[in-house]
Structure 1
Amino acid sequence: MRDDHRLQTVADLPDPRSTLTRTNWATLHHAYGPATDAPEILTALLDADQGVRTKALDNLFGILHHQGTIYEATVPTAQYVAAILPDPRTRLSANKTHRSFPGCIRADLLAWLGSVADSITDAVDEVGQRLGFPLDDHPPAVAAREIRPLLLSAVLPYVDDSDRSVREGAIAACIPLLDDVRLLHHRATLVPLVRQILGTSELWQHRERAIDALDAWGESSAGLEGQRNPFLFCDTDLSPDSTPWPSAASNAEGWTEDPPF
């Protein structure tokens, strides 16, 4: 039995190959039913072909964590994604569009982990409780909340990465993970990075996230500039067949100066 008093660390992450082969995916569900296709999706994230990687990222966001939903298959997927972050192949890229998250696949994977963490914060739970759907009544959400220390230990090494987009993605992913009461002590260390890196990002979404986090943590956000008028943007440049779901290297919020709508 796991010692509940010992926080999970990156050493506790299952080997990604083990997650693929030992998880009974057929008994788990994602947005479109049994997650029998999950191993293929996850393996394709590291494929040598850029088009294959791009499609895999689309499926990661659109099937295994569709519109921010935590499914049964989301938790083992999160463990797999966290475990492959050190793989050199995550330095490869995916096809980009005007709505894509900038940078290599590692930045996309960090954004995905951040999106999972965003879906299980106390604020989300508060809204759910008001509507009669607390997170505690949703076993996949409970399981996802339980592994937040594990995910944080996988994300933290990248908050000072040499790649700016990876660094920003890691810091942004840490913020919702630090909503966990077991991890609150990490906030003090992260504050300077939130202010100096995320708060000066070229992406207004990251700047807004920095301001919101600092304000929520009781820290000063003075001097940081968010998006002056996000309503200036519209979707008139989208083609008739454009999907409303963000493209492969983006998360549910979108990650360019254009908004995700």
Structure 2
Amino acid sequence: MAVTSSASKLIEANDWASLQHAYGPAEDTPAALVDLLNGAADARAMALGHLNHAVHHQNSLYTATAPSALYVAAILSDPRTDSLIRGGEGQWYPLRQALLDWLGSVAGEAGNEVEATLLRLGFLPEEYPALSEVRAIRPTLFEAASTFLHDSDPTIREAALAAVVPLLDAPELTHHRAVLAPMVRGILAASSNRAYRAIAIHGLDAWGEDVSSLIPPAEATAYGHGPWPAANFSSEPPF
């Protein structure tokens, strides 16, 4: 089965050699994106590794990040993302879950906290194309991820919720918070996945919701630092 024409066009629309990821020009990124669907199991795992370790290395954003995120959003509904992929911990989980987790991580690095940190340090967010480009596509990413908020697989439901929470920092998406807050509280905050619980608590807290009853005492300090690693802006942002 070939990659859908709309997804293929997203690859063809970019001059990847002019885009950057963590290791230089992103000329190798198109092949990795295609392998997410068309590759064998090992190739899919390597392609996912490329997203995590080159396109979004250590939670940084690059000019190749937004185009890659648009492609990932475009393929989320492809049946091949139902396939299982082996993680670094040796467990198998749905590729769709991994892609939703990746989109959520990308969105988390383009949210209000990152903007506030930049401004506090004297930087203007709009001066960094990689950041601005991700912020601009948040409605598209939300549309793709929210398709799975009522998925029959509870794992995918949780992953979709975890992905959309940071996306709701976008001004044009904040009106969804009131609708989704009960799901975030009732489903994500009760997840067995500690990272998902942290995302839920952090998001609800940012939305002005009372989260005191959701934070286990032993984990309160950890949750207080937020669900995704904070960007470390020592002198110049890593965009």
- After TM superposition, the score normalised by the length of structure 2 is 0.85
Q: 1:99 to 1:146 in 2, by over 3 A?
A: farther
Secondary structure class of the residue paired with 1:200: coil
Shift of residue 226, structure 1, vs aligned partner: 4.3
**Residue 136 (structure 2) pairs with residue 151 (structure 1):** no
Shift of residue 223, structure 1, vs aligned partner: 3.7
Secondary structure class of the residue paired with 1:103: strand
Residue 171 of structure 1 aligns with an amino acid whose one-letter code is L
Answer 1 or 2: which has greater helix percent: 2
Aligned-partner Cα distance in 2 for 1:230–1:172: 19
Shift of residue 99, structure 1, vs aligned partner: 7.8
Q: Deviations over 1:26-81 (max 9, x none)?
A: 11111111111111110111135211111111111100111111111111101100
Residue 152 of structure 1 aligns with an amino acid whose one-letter code is F
Q: How does 1:70-89 map to 2 (within 5 A)?
A: 70-89=61-80
Q: 1:229 to 1:149 in 2, by over 3 A?
A: closer
Q: Which residue of 2 aligns with 1:6?
A: none
**Residue 26 (structure 2) pairs with residue 35 (structure 1):** yes
Q: Identity rate of aligned residues, in percent? A: 41
Q: Which residue of 2 aligns with 1:94?
A: 85
Shift of residue 97, structure 1, vs aligned partner: 3.5
Q: Which residue of 1 aligns with 2:115?
A: 125
Mark the runs of 5 or more structure 1 residues left unpaired by the alignment.
Answer: 1-13, 233-251, 254-261
For structure 1, which segment, 77-86 or 19-28, has the greater mean C-alpha deviation from structure 2 after superposition? 19-28
Q: Deviations over 1:181-238 (max 9, x none)?
A: 1111000111111011101100122112212221221223354244725999xxxxxx
**Residue 192 (structure 2) pairs with residue 199 (structure 1):** no
Greater relative CO (CA pairs within 8 A, separation 6+): 1
Aligned-partner Cα distance in 1 for 2:216–2:25: 41
Q: Which residue of 2 aligns with 1:241?
A: none
- After TM superposition, the score normalised by the length of structure 1 is 0.78
Q: 1:105 to 1:219 in 2, by over 3 A?
A: same
- Determine which of 114, 125, 133 is the counterpart of 1:135: 125
Q: Please list every run of at least 4 consecutive aligned residues from structure 1 whose deviation after the TM superposition is greater than 6 angstroms.
A: none
C-alpha RMSD over aligned residues: 2.3
Mark the runs of 5 or more structure 2 residues left unpaired by the alignment.
Answer: 223-227, 230-239
Q: Which residue of 2 aligns with 1:11?
A: none
